[in-house]
Structure formats: C-alpha cells, structure tokens
Amino acid sequence: MITELPEFIAGHRRLFVVTGAGCSTDSGIPDYRDSDGQWKRTPPVTYQAFMGEQATRQRYWARSLLGWPRFGQARPNATHHALAALEADGRIELLLTQNVDCLHQQAGSHTVIDLHGRLDQVRCMGCEARSSRALLQQRLLDANPGWETLQAGIAPDGDADLEADFSSFNVPTCEVCGGVLKPDVVFFGENVPRERVAAVHEHLQRSDAVLVVGSSLMVYSGFRFVDAAAKAGLPIAAVNLGRTRADALLSLKVQMPCAQALAFLLDGAKTQ
C-alpha cells in the first residue's frame, strides 16, 4: 500500500480527482458520515424545507450566524496542499470537489469545479443576485443582537449545534428585490446545475484515471462521475478511511488519513 498509490499516480498523466469532507477535517471542519458511510448526525436541511418554510430559514440562518465565523476562518491543510502540488506538476485534468469551503483554491489549485457550490457566496432566489456571505454575516448580527453570544458546537459546512426558539430570529432578505436569500450551495433535494454537470463530464472524457480523496461517495451527485468512469474503463483509486459507495469499482483502495496517504506528493515538491 505504501508504494501502490504513488505508482498509481505516477502511471497517469490526466487524473480526474474527486474530493470530499475527509479532505477538510484536518482544517477543523467536521464531516457528516462515519466509517460505514452512515450519517453521524441529523441529515442537512433540504431545499424543499428551506424554500417552503420560514421557520426552517430562521433555524438555518441562526445556526449559520454562529457557525460561519469558524468555518470562514478555516485554512487549507496538508491534503489540500498535496493536491495543489499535484496540479502544479501538470498531472490533474480536473479537481472536482464536493466540499463548499474553497480550501482547494486557497491552497493553490486552479482547475477546480465546486460541484455543490460555495458557502462564501449567497444567492437571491428571486433575482439571482450574488453577494458575499461575510457581508450577510454583519446583516445577521445587526438584525439579531445577542444571538452571537449563544454557545453552540461546531457542525459541518458552517452549521452549528444549536437548539432554541428560533421564532424571533430575523432573516434578512435580498437588498435588491426583497427575495429569499440562500447560500449558493446545492442543498439535498436540489439539482446540480446542468451546465456544471456537462463541464465535469467533458473533463472526465479527457482523463485517464480517477482518484477519490476523502469521500464515501454516498451522495449520487458525486458517485455518478465515478460510476461513469468505471463504465468507460478508467482505473479508479480511492483514499478513504471507511466504506465507499464505489468500493466494487476500485482498482486500489488506501484506508489511511488523506494527509498521510498523500504526504509523498509534498515530499516530492520539497526536493524539486
């Protein structure tokens, strides 16, 4: 196993890399699933509930008010830097991330598609205006004095473990049209934009192998690309501590922490 992953990567020039929550746990962002691919916690809010229920939006944004500061301050770890080094070496066709933290870009990766969007941006569901999540944070604080003093544990993707009476929480609306504001990420029950899916498939067709890093692939939106790669005959390797949905499709599986498994990429970069 110590040499198999370096050999797999060395043997392919156009890697299609798929990353998940396991890449960002060393940056202090919790993941959702256990080693068997099951939920560790209550599943995330659905698109239908967020759009259809004011109470759900109050709960979401109240928890986000508390969770955003820690999420926004997260920084890339050794896994992100290792994959950036691999791209710098000209070996990545595409880095497809299911994460919404933009840590790959902060580490220096450029050929990135954020499959599920970015949490640092906010989208108006009425007029499609985009705005900064950091700016919305100040609006949330101004509209809800005292909420920032509540104690809550950190949760995945900028959420916080807070249970309270959210009925008094004031949710800002779009400053352009008064519409509903939603983080510019794909919620459960929401479709990935078709043009994004098409762009990913174009990169996949130019790739010669797939490398999955830190993902159980339990969500179909990410798994479908690995499944398509298998049907096209591409070899697939995965670095993940637990079970993945694609285990039966893998040519190689490395059950190690991501940073440990990819450390050789940084070692190589230091000696060049």
Query: Catalytic amino acids?
Result: 116
Q: How many CA atoms lie within 13 A of 47 on its CB side?
A: 11
Separation of alpha carbons 75 and 91, rounded Å: 24
DSSP three-state, residue 12: coil
CB-based burial, 208-233: b 16+ in 10 Å, e otherwise: ebbbbbbbbbbbebbbebbbebbeee
Tell me, what amino acid is at 180? V
DSSP three-state, residue 49: helix
Q: Is the dihedral of CA 4, 267, 262, 200 positive or negative?
A: negative
**Cα dihedral 20→25→28→32 (10° resolution):** 70
Sort 172 into a burial class: Cβ within 10 Å, 0-12 / 13-18 / 19+: middle
The angle formed by the CA atoms of residues 123, 182 and 175, to the nearest 5 degrees, is 60
How big, in percent rounded to 5, are the helix, strand and coil portions of the chain? 40, 20, 40
DSSP three-state, residue 15: strand
Question: Is residue 27 a contact partner of residue 259, using CB atoms and an 8 Å limit?
Answer: no
Supply 221's token pair: 């939106």
